[in-house]
Structure 1
Amino acid sequence: MRQRVATPAWRFLLAGGLVCGIGLLPWLTRTDPAYTVLKARSAEREPTPEVLADIRRQLGIDGGPLHVLTGWLGGLLRGDAGRSWISGSEVLPGLLQALGASLLLMGVALLVAALTAAAVCTRTLRLGARRQLDERRRGGSGSAVLAALPEFLVASVLATVVGVQLGWLPALGWYGPQWTVLPALALGLPAGAVLGRLLDDLLPGAFGEPWALAAAARGLTGRSIARQAVRRCVPALLPNLGLFVVGLTGGAVAVEQVFDIPGLGRSTLQAALAQDLPVLQAGTLALVLLAALATGATRLAARLLTGPAVRDGALSSLHRPTPPAGGLLPLLHGALLLAVVGFGLARDPLALDTGQRLRAPSLDHPFGTDALGRDLLARVGHGALDTLLLAAAISAASLLVGVLLGLVPRVSGPLVDTVNAVPPVLVALLVTAVAGSGTATPALAVGALAWAPLAAHTSSLLRQERATLHITATKGLGAGRIHLLRYELLPAVLPPVLRHTLLRLPGVALALASLGFLGLGAQPPSPEWGLLLAENQPYAERAPWAVLAPAAVLALLGALAVTAAGGLRRPSLPFRRRPTRVGDGADTADGGGRRSVAGAEKERVLT
């Protein structure tokens, strides 16, 4: 009972600390908020002490930050979110309008994500229902590329190709249903590919469970078995689905920026940049409440789908020992990526040639040139080196933190919900306010959030793995917690979480770039990937290769990460062979000297 009371209190404390921290952002910047508001209202007016004091009195901040926070909280109890410091208009109507745009975009993006995830898993579902699934050959390179690409890059490519070059759909503004298609695709395609890859990773285990074998033996249709297999695997993915729901609103800042959508994430970012405290506080509170609703709904859905099986310890493990995936695709992708980076490093990324501005790809410039005549291959290669090394370090640290926190879900659950409610852009602003801007700002901001989906995935998988039959049997034989964790739980959970980490590695690399894309990372003339896209975006119609060439390299990185992740499987345990005994049907060897799955599972539990 004490733990049940402690969890909501811990959640409330974290949410309150987040709102207060965002609310204190103008004071953390060590600049006078009155000065910022004065420059936003009238850049020509002199910031004399009298003028600044008058603005503080008008804004109601003459009493200090604590006075502002308490006044704002008191206004919320009366249904008043205050007035904007910049425009003077009421905050609540504008916030509701921005929230409506974000929720509409989120709904369409979730539909796109669901269809994409279904397309990714179609082959596995078809073959698994027919009992023809080979666990070493699953998934495709197309889903690998989509899963690895971040939303802002997909948005840039869609806006460039579909909106500008082909002119099929509008690429700017928010005026009707047509304007939701491209941003929804930009948000839903990567999210659906990630969810589809995670579901595709679990489906073979579901098709190998006794209920599936019995259903096939009794003549049930393959469609029915496949539908139940999806239902069996979905509870393990629901925590990550909740993270995606929140990410499709507050985390869609870059996509809203590309398509000029007046959504909640963009409004909150603009308020943070302008130090418009009432709008910033209200937007952050809306994101926190949305995160709480999304995670609560996913937990309820997981409990309804799983039923009493988790409580009674009646599940089978979805993570059976499987052989690693083979093939030359990871080597091929790695060789191509190394070739691109190597040829790029041999060139000068800062050499200017105004006579070669926006040149198309050629033998002299394989990726073309940018608006200043600089070689794009050189800039991609030099930008890749630092970005990839930093992304690998952040991913390794996130894996460690995510697994450790995933082992204590009562502590990590509320923390994950709270952290996920904050877009990386706002975290970058907080880091900039406290530590100043620089190349370390994106790393700190991305690292502060990258562990959250891994922790949610770990805790979800552990919860289901603890409810499996072989864990129940091992407990009955006297195994302690340390033994279960070391020899049973971690070997089953670590491979899928590690594959998840590799799946997100390109996303981490481009999350660093997205902050540079928004102007919160490295500054020109650095060849950083985010700056590269931001600098070339205005020339997308005239020189599409300036955006598409870096996108191709990023797609190659995604293919490498996901195909390499396919080789990470739970190793088979070295079962000891026993003499065959008459009547021991579970352990009777076949002509090839292999025992049945039931015999292997029985011996694994006993040993």
Structure 2
Amino acid sequence: MRQRLAALVWRVVLAGGLVCGIGLLPWLTHTDPAYTVLKARSAERAPTPEVLAGIRRQLGLDGGPLHVLGDWLGGLVRGDAGESWISGGDVLPGVLQALGASLLLMGVALLVAAVTAGLVCARTLRLGARRRLGGRRAGGTASAVLASLPEFLVASVLATVVGVQLGWLPALGWYGFQWTVLPALALGLPAGAVLGRLLDDLLPGAFGEPWALAAAARGLTGRSIARQAVRRCVPALLPNLGLFVVGLTGGAVAVEQVFDIPGLGRTTLQAALAQDLPVLQAGTLALVLLAALATAATRLAARLLTGPALRDGALSSLHRPAPPARALPPLLYAAVLGAVVALGLARDPLALDTGQKLRAPTLAHPFGTDALGRDLLARVGHGALDTLLMAAAISAAALLAGVLLGLVPRVSGPLVDTVNAVPPVLVALLVTAVVGGGAVTPALAVGAVAWAPLATHTAALLRQERATLHITATRGLGAGRRYLLRRELLPAVLPPVLRHALLRLPGVALALASLGFLGLGAQPPSPEWGLLLAENQPYAERAPWAVLAPAAVLALLGALAVTAAGALSGPRTARTRVGVSRPADGQAEPAGAHKEPAAVR
């Protein structure tokens, strides 16, 4: 009870710190909030000292940020989120309406993600049900390409082709369920591909557990065994599913911009740009509460699905050694990506030729040219230096931070909920306010949130691995915590978390690209991939190659990441039927190894 109370206090402190920090945003940017509000209300009105002084008095800015924050918190206790600094209307009804739109979109997107994840795992389920999986993960690289497509690019293509040219579904606005289909596809397809790969990574271990072997021996149908295998793997994925819930609600800013959806992410971004503090703080608080509810729901669902086995230490380990995938596909993808980058680096990315605007691909320009006549191959190649190196560095740092924080879930759990409630776009705005704009802004913003899924995954896997039979047996023989962590838990957990980090590598590159697409990253004439997509998006119908070139390279990066992740095998130590580790060559039996744990207890 004391631990739960401490965790609750920790969550409240973090949420309060986040909301209070956002309340200081106008003062952190060293800009006059009255001037920003005036320009948002009426851009033509002259910012005279008298006018600005009147706005300060009206908004209560004369008392400083602490006075403004205190008034807002005092009203929040009474159920009043204040009035918008821009429109003058009540904040709470508008935020609730935006939240309702985002929740509806999130629900449909989760349905799309679930169907997509099922399709990704379909071959593994079929082979496992027929007992022909052989420990090998059956998933291909199509899911990698799907997960690597930028959400804003998928949204733009769906809106242009399906909505405008074919006219099958409405593309703009928010007037009913039909208007949710295209944006839900744009959000759900990449998310479902990631979830499907994570599930596909766990299924071979479930099909190799004793219950699955016994069920097959008793003649149970393959479909029934496959259904139970999915049920066995889902608890390890539920924490990440909770992160997707919040991400699909507050992080869908680019998609909401493309489809003109009045969702919570777009509302929060617009409030941040206009420095409309009451709306910004109420929107952020709504995301924090949603994150807390999603986390509580996923934990309850995990307990219901796992049952008393988690408490009694009666689970089997899902992370068994699997034969590594073929090394040829990742080498092939790496060679193609390296060739594209090398050919692009040999060209000038800034050379202008106005007579070659939006030219189709030719031998002279294999990727075509952009609206200024610049060679797209050169810009993609030079942009790779920024995008790929930055994404790799952020992924490595996120992996290290995620594993370390995942070892202490009581500390990282509330921190993950708070961090995940803040969209990367809003983090970028906060980083810009503190350190200024530039190419480092998106790196800091993405790095500040990239560790959260890995920490959640690490904590979830550790929680289930600690409840396995071989850990219970080893602990009963006298093994201490340090021995168990170093010799049993980390070798079982690190390989799937490392594969998860590789799967996230294209997502990190996409997050950097998304911030560039929204104008919060690198600025022209930089060839950063997100900026390339943003610059060429208006010409997608006339010159589709201008958008497809950077998108294809992102998809190639995703295929490389997934095939490289599939080539990573699990821990080398085999396990006996009772679940106790066999000694490796040159090592003593477990009873002799207990001397080391006993010394550190």
| CA distance, structure 2, for counterparts of residue 72 and residue 383 of structure 1 | 44
Equivalence for 1:38:
38
How big is each residue's C-alpha offset from its partner over 1:120-143, in whole Å with a ceiling of 9 and x where there is no partner?
A: 111111111111003335201111
Q: Tell me how far apart the structure 2 counterparts of residues 283 and 70 of structure 1 sit (CA, whole Å).
A: 17
Match status 1:598 vs 2:589:
no
Q: Which aligned pairs between 1:253-402 and structure 2 lie closer than 5 A?
A: 253-402=253-402
User: Counterpart of 1:445?
Assistant: 445
Gaps of 5+ in 2: 591-601
C-alpha separation in 1, matches of 2:14 and 2:314: 35
Deviations 1:471-504 (A, max 9, x none): 0111111111111111100000000000000001
What is the TM-score normalised by the length of structure 2? 0.95
What letter is aligned with 1:476? G
Q: d(CA) in 1 for partners of 2:417 and 2:384?
A: 32
Determine the C-alpha separation between the residues in 2 that align with 1:564 and 1:470: 29
Q: Which amino acid aligns with 1:100?
A: G
Give the equivalent residue in structure 2 for 1:249.
249
Alignment of 1:5-16 (within 5 A): 5-16=5-16
Output aligned runs, 1:82-481, within 5 Å: 82-164=82-164, 166-481=166-481
Letter of the 1:122 counterpart: A
In structure 1, C-alpha distance between the alignment counterparts of 2:476 and 2:580, rounded to whole Å: 16
- Code of the residue aligned with 1:158 in structure 2: it is L
What corresponds to 1:503 in structure 2? 503
TM-score by length of 1: 0.94
Which position in structure 2 is the counterpart of 1:564? 564
Paired residues of 1:81 and 1:91 also in contact (CA < 8 A): yes
Read off the aligned partner of 2:544 and give its amino acid letter.
P
- Write out per-residue CA displacement over residues 296-322 of structure 1, whole angstroms, 9 at most, x where no aligned residue: 100110011111111100000001122
**Match runs of 1:487-502 below 5 Å:** 487-502=487-502
**Equivalences for 1:530-549 in 2 at 5 Å?**
530-549=530-549
Which consecutive residues of structure 1, in runs of 5 or more, have no partner in the other structure?
Answer: 576-595
Distance 1:277 1:539 in 2: 36
Give the equivalent residue in structure 2 for 1:57: 57
Contact 1:357 1:369 in 2 (8 A): yes
Q: How many residues align?
A: 586
Distance 1:348 1:533 in 2: 19
- CA drift at 1:414: 0.2
- State the distance in 2 between where 1:425 and 1:264 align: 13
SS in 2 for 1:268: helix
Q: Aligned partners of 2:484, 2:401: CA distance in 1, in Å?
A: 20
Alpha-carbon distance in 2 for matches of 1:132, 1:346: 48
Aligned partner letter, 1:119:
L
* Separation in 1, partners of 2:43, 2:153: 35
- After TM superposition, list the pairs within 5 Å mapping 1:521-536 onto structure 2: 521-536=521-536
User: Secondary structure of 1:598's partner?
Assistant: coil
Q: CA deviation at 1:366?
A: 1.5
**Percent identity, aligned pairs only?**
87
Change (3 A) 1:352 1:10: same
**What is the Cα deviation at residue 164 of structure 1?**
4.7
User: Structure 1, residues 32-80: CA drift from partner, whole Å, max 9, x if none?
Assistant: 1011112222334333332222111111222111111121122222222
The separation in 1 between residues aligned to 2:535 and 2:577, in whole angstroms, is: 60
Contact 2:471 2:580 in 1 (8 A): no
Quick check: 1:157–1:548 contact (8 Å CA) kept in 2?
no
Deviation at 1:175, TM superposition (A): 2.9
- Structure 1 residue 363: Cα displacement: 1.7
3-state SS of paired residue (1:341) = helix
- 3-state SS in 2 of match to 1:248: helix
Relative to structure 2, which stretch is displaced further, 558-567 or 367-376?
367-376
SS in 2 for 1:509: helix
The answer as to whether partners of 2:151 and 2:255 remain within 8 angstroms in 1 is yes
Structure 2 residue aligned with 1:580: none
Q: Is the 8 A contact 2:137 2:201 kept in 1?
A: no
Contact 1:160 1:544 in 2 (8 A): no
Q: Partner letter of residue 447 of structure 1? A: G
Question: 2 CA distance for matches of 1:502 and 1:61?
Answer: 47
Cα drift, residue 159 of structure 1 = 3.2
| CA distance in 2: counterparts of 1:158 and 1:377, whole angstroms | 25
CA distance in 1, matches of 2:75, 2:134: 60
The answer to whether the 8 A contact 1:513-1:531 is kept is yes
Q: Write the letter of the residue equivalent to 2:176.
A: G
Secondary structure of the 2:37 match is: helix
The amino acid of 1:598's aligned partner reads R
Whether contact under 8 Å (1:156, 1:547) holds in the other structure is: no
Task: Tell me which stretches of 4 or more aligned residues in structure 1 moved more than 4 Å.
Answer: 164-167, 599-602
The farther-off stretch of 296-305 and 144-153 is 144-153
Q: Residue in 1 aligned with 2:594?
A: none
Contact 1:128 1:204 in 2 (8 A): yes
- Whether contact under 8 Å (2:148, 2:510) holds in the other structure is no
